[in-house]
Structure formats: C-alpha cells, structure tokens
C-alpha cells in the first residue's frame, strides 16, 4: 500500500556517500524533528531526472529552506557511488542530500516501487515528492507514468 498523508515514515537504512566512503543512515536520523522534502526518481543519469527533476530542487533549494525545509533529499534505487557521481555531474553540491536505496528496501516500504524489469532496469522508485514533518507525511505527490508535474520543485514549494 502506498504511503499517505499522516503515515509515519517507515524505518529503513539508506546509504549516503561521504569522503570516507558510503555511510549508512537511518530514516529515523533523517526525519526525526525536522521538516524534510524528499523526492524520488527512477534513476540517476536518466533523461527527465537529469534534465528537470534534480536541477529544479538544486535551483529552488534556498526557496524550499525559506519555506521551512530543514533538509532537501533525493532518493533513487542506485548505489551511493552512482548518486555521488550524479550529484557532482549536476552541480548539486551540498544543496540536495543524495540517498541511495540500492536494494529498494525503503522504496518498497513506501509502496512506491516501479517494476522496469522488462526495460532492463529492474525494480526502481516511482517519481514522487513528499514533505515530512517530524517523521510523518504532511504531503505526498506521486507522478502518473511518464508525467512530470506534481513532484517537481515548484509544486513542492506550493505545498510547503
């Protein structure tokens, strides 16, 4: 079942690239006591994700913070090394925290998995954006297949 407004963020472990190598981070650490904007993409370096989704959150990072976001994070079913390379390629710097859900554990717990096995991509994450306040979902928007409207940075700004 897909997560909805009012639901707690599920407990899971994600990976984050650091100068010392990948570091495990818990969803409890990430979401407790904060307002978090989390957006999910089907994959790093994919066309819409690279041309529009991540760049929008990088561009609007300061506006998201001004509207109350303590953390802006991107999640994909990729490994931490791929996400670090993608962040560098996109000039994301420290604006967006990149979170790797390599085995899609968190994605499945959110009910947002997308089976792209027939296209050679395996299980991925649906394109979505959510706002969580102190570990509970305050807003969630999941894109229809092939769409890019409700999860873009501008839409999240309106929701904050």
Average of per-residue pLDDT across 11-33: 96
Average of per-residue pLDDT across 99-117: 93
- Per-residue pLDDT band for 50 (boundaries 50, 70, 90) equals confident
Which runs of E-coded beta strand occur in the chain?
13-16, 23-26, 35-41, 71-76, 97-100, 113-116, 122-125, 128-133, 136-142
- Per-residue pLDDT band for 63 (boundaries 50, 70, 90) equals very high
Enumerate the active-site residues. Answer: 49
What is the Cα–Cα distance from 77 to 123, expressed in whole angstroms? Answer: 8
The domain ranges of the chain are 13-159
Residues pairing with 41 in the sheet? 76
- Per-residue pLDDT band for 78 (boundaries 50, 70, 90) equals very high
- Would you state the pLDDT for residue 122? 73
Average of per-residue pLDDT across 69-95: 95
Assess whether pLDDT exceeds 90 at residue 120: no
- Please state which CATH class domain 13-159 belongs to: alpha beta
Q: Is the pTM of this model over 0.75?
A: yes
User: Residue 150 corresponds to which tokens in the numbers above?
Assistant: 């409700």
């Amino acid at each position: 079942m897909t997560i909805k407004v009012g639901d707690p963020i599920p407990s899971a472990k994600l990976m984050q690239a650091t100068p010392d190598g990948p570091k495990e981070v818990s969803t409890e650490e990430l979401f407790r006591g904060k307002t978090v904007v989390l957006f999910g993409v089907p994959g790093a370096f994919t066309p819409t994700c690279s041309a529009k989704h991540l760049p929008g959150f990088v561009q609007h990072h300061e506006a998201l913070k001004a509207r109350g976001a303590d953390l802006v994070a991107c999640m994909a079913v990729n490994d931490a090394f791929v996400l670090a390379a993608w962040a560098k390629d996109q000039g994301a710097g420290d604006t967006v925290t990149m979170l790797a859900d390599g085995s899609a554990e968190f994605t499945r717990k959110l009910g947002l998995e997308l089976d792209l096995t027939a296209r050679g991509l395996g299980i991925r994450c649906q394109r979505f954006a959510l706002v969580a306040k102190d570990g509970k979902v305050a807003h969630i928007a999941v894109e229809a297949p092939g769409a890019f409207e409700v999860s873009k940075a501008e839409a999240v700004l309106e929701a904050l």
